[in-house]
Amino acid sequence: MRTDEIGNNVLKQDEEYQELSKELQSLLKEIFKCVPIDRHPTIFSYEEKEQAQLALAIEIMYRQGLIDGVFLNRRLSEVMENEDEF
């Protein structure tokens, strides 16, 4: 849910992201002009799979970041407890 929130709010305001998005759309239009209409579904399928892969990568990285944050918090708590013992 957090990645959806970021996608819907933060990315829409990021100029670099928006520029890349426009460039990708332009390139895709050019590709469609060069490819016969009967092959367009293949391009759509490729794009869908690529987007699904990217979404999965983002989800995995986000999850790993949360795990790393919890681990770091525990380690820092242990260090702070050990310092209090001295």
pLDDT tens digit at each of 86 positions of the chain: 776 777 778 888 889 989 999 999 999 999 999 999 999 999 999 999 999 999 899 889 989 999 999 999 999 998 888 877 66
C-alpha dihedral sign at 60, 63, 69, 71: negative
Q: What is the pLDDT at residue 24?
A: 95
Of the candidates 15, 48, 13, 47, the one whose C-alpha atom is nearest the C-alpha of residue 31 is 47
Q: What is the pLDDT at residue 86?
A: 61
Do 58 and 65 contact (CB within 8 A), yes or no? no
Amino acid letter for position 52: A
Amino acid letter for position 45: S
Q: What is the pLDDT at residue 56?
A: 93
